[in-house]
Chain A
């Protein structure tokens, strides 16, 4: 609690004690003797001034500044009105509860603001530079690229760089939400914003602070609140009209009802005062942005950056998710997945060895994967006369015998009859002495958890999943079937992907939103075209962070379902608040106009509703980890 809030609490206490005593006395009829006299007036006026002097002061000051419809002014008029019609107790009560509500509101907002900023507190304060054998702390902003910095255990990594000396476990939780620390040794890159665990590291910086990951993320987070959701804009517009309209309503009520219905003037004023108390739209103006802020904060805790409330809003309506295949659903690493010796030929080991020897000189990713599968360094002295046949494969001498390694076309070109092999990936045929020896199937491997991720998306209500790829049909369909993807479009060029997404967007329903998930490399146009562009952050890939609306910091597609759920939860809380606040206000306004509701209900409709709405909004903050775990199950 701040000094100001403590002072307010003291004032509330000083007023509340005598107020309760007077309240009890009045109800027991003990105040009858002084009721309506100047003694009662003085006692209540004194209490009123203790609790409300600052409101009255601010009201006059703001009028001088041209701010008429401000809540201080409205509270002043409402309570003065109560004094005029002789409802002294009510006047003090309204002011007292208003102040209690304001205090609580300020406290609650401060608290949630604090917990959100703590969650996003990834900003490093200093960097250690070694100078003449001693460490010196400097501002990360002043460290130039290529400087060697020292990071001690427990310190936050101030700048992106490469490890020169030392080995350590690095806690990346603040950036990725991943609780298992990452091991970093000499030659590994480290990302700013993470916390160094066990060992001291010497790091050569590769970026200036302004370009480092942590600065980029902080900028993103700070700008997030300026991109407002439609609901937020609606509330801002609504608030602008609400107060004047209710105030005019109050004036009309005070003048017209006594004239038309014959109730007394003081009764008319009292009803008008009820209107004034309810006329502040605070409950909405605070709780709606707070809800979104909390939702974005909760997402960042699981390592997902949402670039604005509008994207969180859109994410809540996602019903189609389009994926890029390579790097998103698959690892983008090629592996030998099948070894098929020809019927009657030698065993699997021999075939693999032959292929590894034959591809020994090649640097093609497919050749690399074959050598990797072989596991040993091929004895290149056995290999001679390697000739690359462009687009087909290689012709080579192994142990003095002619070997062909390549695609079907290569086999045909050399008149080798082979068993055509329909695999899930790229098929590499091997022939020796003009006789087919067997085939290897090489395919991209599916990411861990991708299957669960798709299933989880279905569970949270995503209707359709689509995969786009430049790969061959058979390979794409195989991956899609394995993951449970509904629709596949294969053999697409980058430009075709945009066209496909356009097509899918056109097919979207009015309320549905389409998300595109890519690895951020050369799919920027698609990311921007989709309603929600999600990119793999790859711990600092600038392109991805730049182009996307939502960034998955640790490339884990499983988090998509969790984000959709968080977004839905946030939106439903925001909507609950709007309906609840407007509903209660409307109800009390109507009851007040007909003289059924009293000041007490009005105070509840103002500050009570505010406090409840704020508490409800704070729920968006909590439970992000639980949501993640739930969606994984």
Chain B
């Protein structure tokens, strides 16, 4: 399943790249894209565990850039 999320206060392009890399490493995530330009994140992950995975995604993002919020 592929889903798009808006991001708020994503202020640094380098962090966006780091977030993208970290999300891709989460087990169950097929692909991820964090667009600094559009302030958007696309996550493609396993259907059954999607909500669970999204929680991990949020945790990983908070680690890289605590100011950035994911609007679910």
Which residue numbers of A lie inside 8 Å of B, CB to CB? 4, 58, 61-62, 65-67, 71, 106, 113, 116-117, 222, 225-226, 236, 239, 280-282, 285-286, 289-290, 293
Contacts of B36 in A (CB 8 A): 286, 289
Chain A residues contacting B62 (CB-CB under 8 Å) are: 65
Chain A residues with CB below 8 A from B17, complex form: 236, 239, 285
Q: Are B66 and A226 in contact (CB under 8 A)?
A: no
* A-B interface, 3 closest residue pairs, ranked by CB to CB distance from nearest: A285-B13, A286-B13, A65-B63
Q: Return the CB mask of B41-72 against A: 1 if under 8 Å, else 0.
A: 01000000000000000000011101100000
Interface positions, chain B 15-52, Cβ under 8 Å from A, are 17-18, 33, 35-40, 42
* Bound complex: CA A286 to CA B13 (Å): 6
Whether A281 contacts B14 by the Cβ 8 Å rule is: yes
Given contact pairs A225-B35, A282-B12, a sample of 12 additional A-B residue pairs in the complex whose CB atoms are under 8 Å apart: A65-B63, A67-B63, A113-B37, A117-B38, A222-B38, A226-B33, A236-B17, A239-B14, A239-B17, A280-B14, A282-B13, A282-B14
Residue of A222, A280, A281, A282 ringed by the most chain B CB atoms within 10 A: A222
CB distance from B20 to the nearest CB of A (A): 9
Docked Cα-Cα span, A281 to B18, in Å, equals 13
Interface residues contributed by chain B, number (CB under 8 Å): 21
How far is the CB of B21 from the nearest CB of chain A, in Å? 9
Residues of A within 8 A of B66 (CB): 58, 61-62, 65
9 contacts between A and B (CB under 8 A): A66-B63, A67-B18, A71-B12, A222-B40, A225-B33, A282-B12, A282-B14, A285-B17, A286-B13
In the assembled complex, how far is the CB of residue A58 from the closest CB belonging to chain B, in whole angstroms?
A: 8
A117 CA to B64 CA, complexed, in Å: 26
When distances are taken between beta carbons in the complex, the residues of chain A under 8 Å from B64 are 65, 67
Taking a contact as CB atoms under 8 Å apart, the answer to whether B37 and A225 are in contact is yes
Report the bound CA distance from A290 to B35 in whole Å.
Answer: 11
Find chain B residues with CB under 8 A from A225 CB.
33, 35, 37-38
A61 and B62 alpha carbons, distance in the complex (Å):
11
**Complex Cα spacing A239 to B67, Å:** 22
Query: In the complex, which residue of chain A has the Cβ closest to the Cβ of B37?
Result: A293
A28 to chain B, nearest CB (A): 39
Of all chain A residues, the one with the shortest Cβ separation from B15 is A70
Q: Which residues of B contact A66 (CB under 8 A)?
A: 63
Least Cβ–Cβ distance between A613 and chain B, in angstroms: 12
Q: Residues of A contacting B12 with CB < 8 Å? A: 71, 282
Question: How far is the CB of A76 from the nearest CB of chain B, in Å?
Answer: 16
A280 to B14, CA, bound (A): 9
Name A240's closest neighbour in chain B (CB-CB): B17
B38 touches A289 (CB 8 A): no
The chain B residue with its CB closest to the CB of A4 is B9
